[in-house]
Amino acid sequence: MKALQYTAFGEEPTVVDIPRPSPGPGQVLLRVTAAGVCHSDLHIMASPPEEYRYGPLPLTLGHEAAGVVVSSGPGADRFPADTPVLVYGPWGCGICRSCARGEENYCTDPAGVHPPGISVAGAMAEYMLVDAERHLVPLRDLDPVQAVALTDAGLTSYHAINGSRHRLGAGTYALVIGAGGLGHIAIQILRALGASTVIAADVSEEKLRLAREVGAHHCVIANEAAADEIGRLTAGAGVDAIFDFVGTERTVGLAGSVAATHGDIVIVGVGNGALPVGYRRQPFETSVRSTFWGSRSDLWEVVDLARAGLIRVAVETHPLLDAPTAYKRLAEGKVFGRAVIVP
Ligand code: NAD
Ligand code: ZN
Ligand code: ZN
């Protein structure tokens, strides 16, 4: 079968021929119907060898997956052949206290979380193995190409926002920094979960056009004047819930400078920025946290929001042979919403 692999440090990902896997005990083999292209893949491929902490090379990329069941290994019988599914990506041990809560993203097993496309072979291939049936969510009537980004861009955004639900509601302001794959979905989730006013900030006017289309009330260019403009938009009160999908020094700084008293700052982007926390470093009662992906129940919930018509993912599609181009376009900031590979 064809697969897109990161083969050697510093190399571009390439399409290669590898054997089609077969499911072992408890595993499910999927024919991949859609695989999302995430900015985190660019971070993986930019990681210098001494800091690289992902799966051994060559690594088949793709941690956002939709597919149909082909066959199941011994002991797996809940999903008949041809069932369309989405894949929950942060595979944990399934047994520890975090996994018992469905938070496999925070699995405490020594082996840790081992997601497809990050630690083991992923979805950028004609077929993929899923390690356990509990990592499948029925797709039912949803279109796989439209829905595949729900498994990370949607799930991660939903988990981050769900944890700040007490800061949403009448009269509140929410800010999304970075209106890309995650951010454009986050705007829609914020609208669905009851933020009164949603502000989007991005360095690109065109990304802000998409932000407005999907429901942002105000759009702000993320430059030196952004903090003042956001201050004016909130009549000086500041922003109640801030979601940073970039996470650089500059964007976490912006988040800190516009937070309201009692505000929530959630750092999702892998930009390595640091925000000082301490007496008077942030507005009083402000909380700062970072999040990784989401829980199994979060995935069911964000899929429900999509099924209810509350989330529309903007997608551009590429065939598998063209996947390297999709990554180039993402790196150049040319993708609006999510690039999706259709093998
Ligand atoms: P993307 O490339 O689709 O979107 C990033 C957006 O940020 C773009 O619209 C870009 O124009 C904008 N941007 C860049 N610099 C900016 C700045 N200084 N100020 C404002 N906007 C800026 O990326 P994505 O796939 O949506 O991923 C976003 C980030 O989230 C990445 O760092 C990714 O690795 C990370 N991520 C984290 C998790 C997690 O679990 N924590 C999960 C998925 C992705
Ligand atoms: Zn991702
Ligand atoms: Zn676990």
Residues 164 and 266 in one domain: yes
Q: What share of the chain is helix, strand, coil (3-state, %, to 5)?
A: 30, 25, 45
Domains held by the chain: number: 2
Q: Is the CB of 204 under 6 A from ligand 1?
A: yes
pLDDT of residue 80: 98
The residue type found at 288 is: V
pLDDT of residue 88: 99
Q: Is the CB of 246 under 6 A from ligand 1?
A: yes
**pLDDT tens figures, 23-81:** 999 999 999 999 999 999 999 999 999 999 999 999 999 999 999 999 999 999 999 99
Q: What does 97-166 look like in DSSP terms, one character per residue?
A: HHHHTT-GGG--STT----BTTTB--SSBSEEEES-GGGEEE-TTS-HHHHGGGGTHHHHHHHHHHTTGG
**pLDDT tens figures, 68-98:** 999 999 999 999 999 999 999 999 999 999 9
Ligand 1 pocket test, candidate residues 37, 38, 207, most atoms within 8 A of CB: 38
**pLDDT tens figures, 145-202:** 999 999 999 999 999 999 999 999 999 999 999 999 999 999 999 999 999 999 999 9
Give CA–CA dist 183/188, Å, rounded: 9
Q: Is the CB of 250 under 6 A from ligand 1?
A: yes
Chosen domain end from 249, 274, 290? 290
The answer to whether 181 touches 316, Cβ cutoff 8 Å, is: no
Of 311, 319, 315, 321, the C-alpha closest to 335 is: 315
* Residue 14 structural domain: 2-152+294-342
pLDDT of residue 212: 98
Residues 181 and 147 in one domain: no
Counting atoms of ligand 1 from 1, which one is nearest the CA of 254? 19
pLDDT of residue 142: 98
Residues 37 and 145 in one domain: yes
Give SS3 for 229.
helix
Residues 13 and 93 in one domain: yes
Query: CB within 8 A of 185, min separation 6: which ones?
Result: 149, 150, 153, 154, 157, 311, 313
Provide φ and ψ at 258, rounded to 5°. -115, 5
Residue nearest to atom 44 of ligand 1 (CA): 40
Give CA–CA dist 248/266, Å, rounded: 13
Residues 18 and 135 in one domain: yes
User: Could you tell me the CATH number of the domain that includes residue 236?
Assistant: 3.40.50.720
Q: How far is CA 93 from CA 102, 112, 211, in A?
A: 11, 7, 37
- Average pLDDT, integer, range 291-303: 98
Residues 166 and 204 in one domain: yes
User: Could you tell me the CATH number of the domain that includes residue 28?
Assistant: 3.90.180.10
Nearest ligand to the C-alpha of residue 96? Answer: 3
Give SS3 for 197.
strand
- Average pLDDT, integer, range 248-270: 98
Residues 170 and 37 in one domain: no
**pLDDT tens figures, 8-20:** 999 999 999 999 9
Confidence label for 240 from pLDDT (cuts 50, 70 and 90): very high
Residue nearest to atom 23 of ligand 1 (CA): 39
**93 CA from centroid of ligand 3 (Å):** 4
Residues 144 and 86 in one domain: yes
In this prediction the ipTM stands at: 0.99
Give CA–CA dist 218/199, Å, rounded: 5
Residues 181 and 108 in one domain: no
Residues 7 and 133 in one domain: yes
pLDDT of residue 30: 99
Confidence label for 235 from pLDDT (cuts 50, 70 and 90): very high
Residues 279 and 305 in one domain: no
pLDDT of residue 145: 98
